[in-house]
Chain A
Amino acid sequence: MNRNSNTYIVVYATAMVVIVALALSFASLALRDRQQANIENEMKRAILRSIGIEAQGGMAAVDALYARYIVGSFAVDARGEVVEGANAFELLANLRAVYALPPDERELPVFVSRDGQGVERYIIPLWGSGLWGPIWGYLALESDWKTVSGAVFYHQGETPGLGAEIAESWFGDRFAGKTIFRDGQFVSVSVEKRRGTEPPGPHSVDAITGGTITAFAVGRMIRESLQGYLPFIQLQKENE
């Protein structure tokens, strides 16, 4: 058999590629459930972090804590109404696709937590662009829908040591206690680069030295993500 004939090479290459493709598809299908479970577990861990609960241990521990603290979830649309039958967790898993839709077609997920004292908080997922790639996070609001109780941020590829510091808890902690409304007007919480030694006011936090662009992007992400929830939040405040 001539191993260098064109026919042999074409048949060999085709057979090889088909076999490899079949094997890879099989491996992908066999492992998908476990991989999906890992990703969902990571989202649960992040949601818990936004209300100040650091889940230690494996997946079972995270699931147990999530079941204990997260008591509900729903989705809201652009008119501020709760969407019937929406799966908030599924929306969260596809947040990138949700934010690719035009603003008035988005269905945005909200998670409700209740701690040991019965205090309810609302956790809003965030999605935006950093300096090098996507950034995302969770903002937990008190039940007055304006005071931030906690925030966590994640990124895909911000500069280590500079922009990547947004993922550290000390940066997220700066948002606790801030308010997103001033005299009934939505102002969000902005990230600012300021002179002087005065602490930032109730609607802003300090940026990160060397990571200004990414830190500003966090402020923009919070404002733009919250914008989609505003109709719903306004309705909640009117009902009070």
Chain B
Amino acid sequence: MNREREPIFSAKNMRLLLGPLNRDNPVAVQILGICSVLAVTAKLRPAFVMAVSVVAVAALASLIMSALRKTIPSRIRIIVQLVVIAFLVIIVDQILKAYVYEVSKQLSVFVGLIITNCIIMGRVEAFALGNKPWPSLLDGLGNGLGYGVILIVVGFFRELLGAGELWGRQVIPDSFYEAGYMNNGLMLLPPMALIIVGVIIWIQRSFNKDVVDK
């Protein structure tokens, strides 16, 4: 083959990275990975740690699977995907337990459940197994970030309105409370995460008419 090498950040590659942040967002458009969005977003800090974990797993899983794609027997490819993803998730879980113990306790089983997050396996199956490592890395990174952005936005509003804090620090001044302002306890419960995700979808679709189902 005498094809010219594609530039590292070609328009196509940038689309892989940035598309999932908006038009192809795994949570808001494809409605994947909702379970953990509801569970870990009551506070900003666990939401952020969870987002970083998913970005790392999604990017590395896509990279590894793409690098191995020519050697994997197709009959056991799902098992290979599971082993690689599970391996990465266990490593992430161990690192969290060693370095951010408090947050890892709040995240509890949801780190382990990254294994079953359909965003990651979906991207490996749909993209990484048929593409070169670099675009696959960008695709995994992009989808992880698309998920993480939603997590952080939801966590931001839930902690701000539910506890009057951000990152564990009080941001709503005492004078507000004295004037009769109250934290909304409902914000800390999972249903409110669903409603916030709904509002994000609403706002996004009012800007992007083309993702609205005809």
Q: Which residues of A contact B (CB under 8 A)?
A: 3-4, 8-9, 12-13, 16-17, 20, 23-24, 27-28, 31, 34-35, 38-39, 41-42
Interface string of B55-84 (1 = CB under 8 A from A): 000000000000000011111100110011
Contact indicator A9/B98 (Cβ below 8 Å): no
Q: Quick check: is B97 within 8 A (CB to CB) of the other chain?
A: yes
Residues of A within 8 A of B71 (CB): 3, 12
Contact indicator B94/A23 (Cβ below 8 Å): no
- Chain B binding surface, main DSSP class: helix
Given contacts A3-B73, A9-B73, contact A28 B79 (CB under 8 A): no
Closest residue to A42 on the B side, CB-wise?
Answer: B101
Contact indicator B73/A35 (Cβ below 8 Å): no
Contact indicator A31/B97 (Cβ below 8 Å): yes
Given contacts A3-B71, A20-B83, contact A13 B97 (CB under 8 A): no
Contact indicator B73/A16 (Cβ below 8 Å): no
Residues of A within 8 A of B95 (CB): 31
Residues of B within 8 A of A13 (CB): 76, 79-80
Contact indicator A24/B97 (Cβ below 8 Å): no
Residues of B within 8 A of A28 (CB): 94
Contact indicator B94/A35 (Cβ below 8 Å): yes
Closest residue to A5 on the B side, CB-wise?
Answer: B73
Q: Quick check: is B99 within 8 A (CB to CB) of the other chain?
A: yes
Contact indicator A31/B73 (Cβ below 8 Å): no
Report the contact-size class of chain B (Cβ under 8 Å from the partner).
10 to 19
List of 5 A-B pairs having minimum Cβ-Cβ separation, nearest first: A38-B101, A34-B98, A31-B98, A9-B73, A20-B87
Given contacts A3-B71, A12-B76, A13-B76, contact A35 B87 (CB under 8 A): no
Q: Quick check: is B171 within 8 A (CB to CB) of the other chain?
A: no
Contact indicator A31/B79 (Cβ below 8 Å): no
Q: How far is the CA of A13 from the CA of B83 in the complex (A)?
A: 10
Residues of A within 8 A of B182 (CB): none
Q: Quick check: is B35 within 8 A (CB to CB) of the other chain?
A: no
Q: Quick check: is B199 within 8 A (CB to CB) of the other chain?
A: no
Given contacts A12-B71, A35-B94, contact A23 B76 (CB under 8 A): no
Q: Quick check: is B195 within 8 A (CB to CB) of the other chain?
A: no
Residues of B within 8 A of A23 (CB): 87, 91
Contact indicator A17/B83 (Cβ below 8 Å): yes
Residues of A within 8 A of B31 (CB): none
Residues of B within 8 A of A9 (CB): 73, 75-76
Contact indicator A27/B101 (Cβ below 8 Å): no
Contact indicator B73/A24 (Cβ below 8 Å): no
Interface string of B181-212 (1 = CB under 8 A from A): 00000000000000000000000000000000
Contact indicator A24/B87 (Cβ below 8 Å): yes
Q: Quick check: is B90 within 8 A (CB to CB) of the other chain?
A: yes
- How many whole Å from B113's CB to the nearest CB in chain A? 15
Residues of B within 8 A of A42 (CB): 101
